[in-house]
């Protein structure tokens, strides 16, 4: 597979958690569907996985924003290392689109 659409439920913890896709993504779009939050895009071209992740917000006309460690791609999916409501709020639901 080269792409996958799915969902996960946040746990509110900054302890690393892994979402398994079956491939290593280079691009991911994440949206919290429990709260009115932004659509976030991460990709390896901008440095996703470097610890200084740059994100684009689809619903804003601002430049990319970075300086945080939200997670990283793995050989079979991606990790989340943030307790932010944008990516991992406790019991919040998230949808994602990932592409290799």
Q: pLDDT for 19-76, tens place per residue?
A: 999 999 999 999 999 998 888 999 998 888 877 888 888 887 877 777 778 899 999 9
Using only C-alpha atoms, the chain has a radius of gyration, in whole angstroms, of 12
Mention every residue, 6+ apart, whose C-beta is less than 8 A from residue 44.
26, 27, 73
Determine if the pTM surpasses 0.75.
yes
DSSP tag of 81: -
DSSP 63: P
Residues present in the chain in total: 100
For residue 100, the tally of other CB atoms under 10 A from its CB is 14
């Amino acid at each position: 597979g080269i792409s996958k659409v799915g969902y996960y439920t946040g746990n509110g913890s900054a302890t690393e958690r892994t979402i398994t896709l079956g491939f290593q993504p280079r691009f991911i779009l994440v949206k919290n569907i429990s709260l009115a939050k932004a659509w976030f895009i991460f990709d390896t071209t901008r440095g996703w996985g470097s610890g200084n992740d740059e994100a684009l917000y689809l619903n804003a006309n601002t430049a990319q924003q970075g300086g945080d460690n939200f997670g990283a791609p793995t050989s079979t999916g991606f990790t989340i290392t943030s307790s932010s409501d944008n990516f991992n709020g406790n019991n919040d639901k998230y949808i994602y689109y990932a592409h290799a």
